[in-house]
Amino acid sequence: MPQEQASQTQTHDDERYIIGYAMEPKKIQNLLKPSLIEHARKHGIDLIPIDINKPLIQQHPNLHFHCIIQKLQPKHWDNLNLHQYMSKHGTTTTIIDPPHLVRKLQNRVSMLEFASNLPLSVQNATVGVPYQAVIDIHKTSGDDFEEMVTDSNLRFPVIAKPLYADGTMKSHELCLVFDREGLRETLNKNAAAGSTTTPVVLQEFVNHGGVVFKVYVAGEHVRCVKRRSLPDIPEEKAETLKGTLKFSQISNFTVQDDNGAKSNAGHNGDGANHLSNIERAEMPEENLIKELARALRERTGLNMFNVDVIRDAKDCTRYLVIDINYFPGYAKLPCYEPFITDFLLDCVRNKPAFVCEENQGMNE
């Protein structure tokens, strides 16, 4: 994928389009930078904030939203009462994307089902998902646990991930588990949290050269960037490692951030190794990325998401999807302003192939 894609943004007409954005203040601060608002404005789009704490019908009475983009918690859907709004304006306003579809990405099992058995064929490459099993601590006794570990064919190390990827900090608290004892410890800690305990997904850790490919999708627009990931664990070392290692949002560092880590190598010696891994790593075939994005748009019915993909260190034709995130941090992409603006123009001109049908289920 070219990093610096030229904008395809062209204004075909003098019409202005109104696009509402409904999201939490932190997300607005990250995404709606003045540079995006200005770029969109120059190309005919006025981006208008929607108050997520009161019914939309009571807001902007003189504006007609061509489309609304959103990243919201369920309580905000209730507050906004979009159902009421859409029953009045549903034929002319599009919600991107409908919450009942977004919700499928908030569960790490249903999320990865979208990426299972993908019929992609680009130069022998395959795209699959790592083996994973769910443990609900409420339903797993000590004996069950032994049986479960034996039956599941889980091979250590594994990564323990909260089943629900609902945007909370907790949902990003992951843990590398090196052996049975480590797993028992993790599950016991989880159980000690009592009623707040959530099920855990145990996902096979796959060595992948310390690089994760983040594929950002916005309708037909697709970009892939490399990011820092967990380092490989050589097999001989894996056999000696015990217990657990907690981590969170490791791939949030961009390559530029890693440059900082490199110059700071005394402080963070690993940074230099990760950086060279990232620099050296070849990007996946452009067509593979495009096909993956298209297949996932079709399967999920969603337009705005990113996909974390790793490449098996033992087999460079084997790609694995490890995570899919709704409405990710697009602003981390170089030149994200034309990327988002081009997508929004497609939306208001009704170009995206998978804009939600009649916005059905939008208030579920």
Ligand X SMILES: Nc1ncnc2c1ncn2[C@@H]1O[C@H](COP(=O)(O)OP(=O)(O)OP(=O)(O)O)[C@@H](O)[C@H]1O
Ligand Y SMILES: O=P(O)(O)O[C@H]1[C@H](OP(=O)(O)O)[C@@H](OP(=O)(O)O)[C@@H](O)[C@@H](O)[C@@H]1OP(=O)(O)O
Site residues, ligand X (CB under 6 A): 130, 159, 161, 165, 172, 174, 203-206, 208, 212, 229-230, 249-251, 308, 310, 322-323, 325
Give the containing element (helix H, strand E) for 59.
Answer: none
Q: What's the rounded Cα separation, in Å, for the pair 273 and 38?
A: 39
CB of 296 to ligand Y, least distance (A): 15
Q: What's the rounded Cα separation, in Å, for the pair 157 and 161?
A: 13
147 close to 340: Cβ distance less than 8 angstroms: no
298 close to 287: Cβ distance less than 8 angstroms: no
Token pair for 182: 């480590």
Question: For 7-136, where are the E strands, in sequence order?
Answer: 17-23, 45-49, 67-71, 94-96, 126-128, 132-135
Residue 325 found at the interface with ligand Y (CB under 6 A): yes
Looking from the CA of 249 toward its CB, the CA atoms found within 13 Å total 13
Report the site for ligand Y in 234-263 (rule: CB under 6 A). 252
From residue 302 to residue 321, the character string flagging contacts with Mg ion as x (rule: CB under 5 A) and all else as - is ------x-------------
Report the site for ligand Y in 55-94 (rule: CB under 6 A). 71
Residue 361 found at the interface with ligand Y (CB under 6 A): no
Residue 328 found at the interface with ligand Y (CB under 6 A): yes
* Interface residue with Mg ion, options 94, 132, 303, 325 (CB under 5 A): 325
Residue 323 found at the interface with Mg ion (CB under 5 A): yes
Residues 6+ apart with CB under 8 A from 32: 21, 47, 49
Q: What's the rounded Cα separation, in Å, for the pair 131 and 153?
A: 9
Nearer to ligand Y, 102 or 183 (CB): 102
* Residue 343 interacting entry, from ligand X, ligand Y, Mg ion, none, C-beta within 5 to 8 Å by type: none
* Interface residue with ligand Y, options 1, 18, 28, 30 (CB under 6 A): 30
Nearer to Mg ion, 84 or 107 (CB): 107
Q: What's the rounded Cα separation, in Å, for the pair 329 and 296?
A: 18
CB of 325 to Mg ion, least distance (A): 4
Q: Which stretch in 232-240, 255-263, 269-277, 324-332 sits in contact with ligand Y by CB under 6 A?
A: 324-332
- Size of interface with Mg ion, in residues (CB under 5 A): 3
Q: What's the rounded Cα separation, in Å, for the pair 256 and 253?
A: 8
Q: What's the rounded Cα separation, in Å, for the pair 248 and 169?
A: 9
Nearer to Mg ion, 328 or 338 (CB): 328
Q: What's the rounded Cα separation, in Å, for the pair 94 and 291?
A: 25
Residues 6+ apart with CB under 8 A from 63: 18, 48
* Residue 329 interacting entry, from Mg ion, ligand Y, ligand X, none, C-beta within 5 to 8 Å by type: ligand Y
Which residue has the closest beta carbon to ligand Y? 329
CB of 333 to ligand Y, least distance (A): 8
Token pair for 264: 């700071």
Nearer to ligand X, 42 or 170 (CB): 170
Q: How many CB atoms lie within 10 A of CB 249?
A: 10
Report the site for ligand Y in 104-163 (rule: CB under 6 A). none
Residue 306 found at the interface with ligand Y (CB under 6 A): yes
Nearer to ligand X, 116 or 287 (CB): 116
Token pair for 16: 């202005």
Binding positions for Mg ion, rule: CB under 5 A: 308, 323, 325
Binding positions for ligand Y, rule: CB under 6 A: 26-27, 30, 71, 165, 167, 214, 252, 306, 325, 328-329, 332
